[in-house]
Structure 1
Amino acid sequence: MPKKILLTSSQWLLIIALLVCAYACFTLIEPYINSIVMAFIISLLIFPIHDYLDNKMPNMRNTSALLSCIILTFIIVIPLLFVFTAIIQQGSSFSQSVYHWVTEGGVQELFTQPYVVKVLALANTYLPFNALEPSEIAQKVAELATSFGSNLVGISASVVGSATSFLVNFGLMLFVLFFLLRDHETIITAIRHIVPLSRSQEDRLLVEIEQVSKSAVMGSFLTAIAQGVAGGLAMWLVGFPGLFWGTMMGFASFVPVVGTALIWIPTCLYLLLTGDTGWAIFLLIWSVAVVGSIDNILRPLLMQGGAGMNTLMIFFSLLGGLHVFGLIGLIYGPLIFAITMVLFNMYEEEFNDFLDKQDNN
């Protein structure tokens, strides 16, 4: 049995003062906590590159850490600039094409299709709304196309206007990342010394945090990229801007339950109504068989092994994390669940005799 530790009043006072000061420090850094957490997670992902540079320059820790940060900047920032520019161009071009299609009688021609005529007749007969007229629908579609283009320009202007904030946060993340890479051994040693757990428990906790951080990034973001690439290829084949709609599918993949269906179901319906039945069937089969299988197979495969988390727990950790923390909750959610599971396992081992005794009573 481990020896019980009895704390004196001065020690209790020290602990309380430490907790108060720790809370005050957290309040100070809370606005930047996402940048700090992302720096920690990225340090785990980029550490193999940094370790390689560190081994090549064993006496130049500052230089190797700086080079790692520069490499990360080129990997993230430059591709994002090209992709963002292409998305704005393709999105604006697509909205203009839709507007011209509507104003040149595309909607009226669409409503001459036999399937559309039947659906519109059923809707006007049974739905408790005013009669749906093709001219009114065409006007609404034109307004939506115009507002889509203006909203896209507005979003791009907002993003450009927020460039300073992004650069500040990214710079802060790089600043924290530099010290995490350079002083990782010192930081880990300090954490191990302060945390009142056994070495084996500390190892389990640190390993689990590392595994779940990597799997959350791999499971969420790599799955989104894979679905975006597969979906964008299919959209390009059927005649839509591939990069723009592929990116939209990537973002839609973060939406729980529905996912990329937000994009490909309306597209399939449009192709079907405009007479492109073959392309509609192709897109439907591709989206279900390829894009859907990426989410159903790749995401659980990349996120497995985290503290014994099954698919149901992974689903709720992603859903809850997204609801509470936003997009970064796709990392926070699984991380919180995994740490809780590790601590629960530690609790079960630590109090195993007591729990067995309670079961036998």
Structure 2
Amino acid sequence: MKNLQGGLDLPQMLFSLMFILLMIIACLWVVQPFILGFAWASMVVIATWPLMIKLQHLLWGRRSLAVIAMTILLLLLFIIPIAVLVNSLIDNSAPVIAWATQGHMTVPQLDWLKEVPMVGDKLFVSYHKLVDGGGSAIMSKLQPYIGRTTGFFVAQAGHFGRFMLHLGLMLLFSVLLYWRGEQVGLGIRHFAYRMGGRRGDAAVLLAGQAIRAVALGVVVTALVQGVLGGIGLAISGIPYATLLTVVMILSCLVQLGPLIVLVPAIIWLYWSGDTTWGTVLLVWSCVVGTLDNVLRPMLIRMGADLPMILILSGVIGGLVAFGMIGLFIGPVVLAVSYRLVSVWMHEAPAPDDDPETVVEELTEHDDHTA
């Protein structure tokens, strides 16, 4: 058929664009239940790919044996511990929520201040003057918000079935990506090159570095510190050790460290008279608390150095947006975006002119044009 309209065929372009958008929306609709699991698996596989290659060399070059070994490692070191921690958090959260929401929170009396030499009595009297002047009222005002906050964080772990589904999908997709990792990586690079040339290819490689930096330098360090700190709490006889382990992992993810939990536990042991286990936990806490100074730089060197405020925002924002799985995905999303924007900015030289000179030139230009 002869084209009656020469040149640009605007209706054809519009209908083609509408068709492409409909196909994209339909595809996203179909794969939406699997997006989080696939994203989590991609992060895990990218971070552990060098280890898988080494295992393949050790296992006579057999990819199947390396994939089986990595699957067992993921089950033993990642999936089972996380599932146990989340399950224990759900089981042990009931008394915490009840205590935080039923109005039993009161201002501590701190009677032990009297025993402090020289200044103990003055500190005790000053503290109670402060409490009598409004401390109880402040606690009653904070009570509803503390209860809501506690309930929110526990509710994120309360979606246990959905969380286990994401864990299962992550394991399944990890096996597939381990098996065909080179082909998947080449396909992604090919698509990026088709979209943006060499710059698109470089963006994919930079994204991989950012993912590895977060996964190894932040998540692995937090898991190691939290689990080791939890072992110390359990051995020392601290109650709710599993729940406190989850709190330690979260505090390590947001870069507060494990000492925010370990120091009060040490004080409680000494205060209750158990000085032996208090000393043991003190020594163990010194090891766990300083572990990130050695482990994190070593792991981050395998990826890319990232600002801690970026990781903090990613952890909190990911938890709010995606639930427990967002603790791992949130920092990765921000880290990848940060790396790509940073590289794009540094393609141009930084301005070296004096700010006042720039403002004067702009003002003179506006005066001339006016």
TM-score category of the 2 structures, normalised to the smaller one: 0.5 to 0.7
Structure 2: unaligned runs, 5 residues or longer = 1-7, 97-107, 137-150, 353-357, 362-370
> 1:182, CA displacement in angstroms?
3.1
C-alpha distance in structure 1 between counterparts of 2:17 and 2:135, whole Å: 72
Query: 287, 299, 303: which one pairs with 2:300?
Result: 303
Once residues 196 and 60 of structure 2 are traced to their aligned partners in structure 1, the CA distance between those partners, rounded to angstroms, is: 35
Matched, 1:174 2:171: yes
**Structure 2 CA distance for aligned equivalents of residues 183 and 86 of structure 1:** 35
1:84-95 equivalences in 2 (<5 Å): none
Query: 1:170 is aligned with what amino acid?
Result: L
Query: Under a length normalisation based on structure 2, what TM-score does the superposition of the two structures give?
Result: 0.59
Partner of 2:355: none
Q: What is the rounded CA distance, in whole Å, between the counterparts of 1:345 and 1:130 in structure 2?
A: 52
2:310 aligned to which of 291, 306, 317: 317
For 1:251, the aligned partner's letter is: I
Question: Is this contact kept in 2: 1:235–1:245, CA < 8 A?
Answer: no
Give the structure 2 partner of residue 264 of structure 1.
262
- Asked if residue 185 in structure 1 is aligned to residue 178 in structure 2, the reply is no
Match of 1:250 in 2: 248
2:42 paired residue number: 40
Q: Distance in 2 between matches of 1:131 and 1:329?
A: 34
Q: Distance in 2 between matches of 1:241 and 1:19?
A: 55
Count of aligned positions: 305
User: What residue identity is the alignment partner of 1:25?
Assistant: C
- 8 Å Cα contact 1:317-1:337 kept in structure 2: yes
Counterparts of 1:332-343 in structure 2 under 5 Å? Answer: 332-343=330-341
**Seq. identity, %:** 23
- In the other structure, the counterpart of 2:223 is 225
CA contact (8 A) 2:177 2:184 kept: yes
Describe the shift of the 1:238–1:182 C-alpha distance in structure 2 as closer, same or farther (beyond 3 A).
closer
Q: Quote the residue 1:140 is aligned against.
A: none
Gaps of at least 5 residues in structure 1 are 1-6, 96-106, 133-150
Residue identity opposite 1:115 in structure 2:
E
Letter matched to residue 44 of structure 1 = I
Say if 1:220 and 1:330, in contact at 8 Å, map to a contact too.
no
Say whether 1:29 aligns with 2:16: no
Counterpart position of 1:115: 115
Q: In 2, are the aligned partners of 1:220 and 1:299 still within 8 Å (CA)?
A: yes
The equivalent residue for 2:191 is 194
Residues 264, 302 of structure 1: alpha-carbon distance in 2 compared, 3 angstrom cutoff: same
Deviation at 1:247, TM superposition (A): 2.0
CA contact (8 A) 1:39 1:176 kept: yes
**Distance of 2:175 and 2:253 partners within structure 1:** 33
Structure 1 counterpart of 2:74:
72
Superposition RMSD in Å:
5.1
The amino acid that maps onto 2:132 is P
**Aligned amino acid, residue 209 of structure 2:** Q
Shift of 1:164: 4.2
Q: How has the CA–CA distance of structure 1 residues 164 and 11 changed in structure 2, closer, same or farther, with 3 Å as cutoff?
A: same
Counterparts in 2 of 1:113 and 1:175: CA distance versus 1, 3 Å = closer
Q: In structure 2, the residue corresponding to 1:240 is in which secondary structure?
A: coil
Deviations 1:122-156 (A, max 9, x none): 43334225999xxxxxxxxxxxxxxxxxx9xxx89
Q: Which residue of 2 aligns with 1:101?
A: none
Query: Secondary structure at the residue paired with 1:177?
Result: helix
Give yes or no for the alignment of 1:128 onto 2:132.
yes
User: How far did residue 259 of structure 1 move?
Assistant: 3.8
Q: CA deviation at 1:38?
A: 0.8
Q: 1:206 to 1:232 in 2, by over 3 A?
A: same
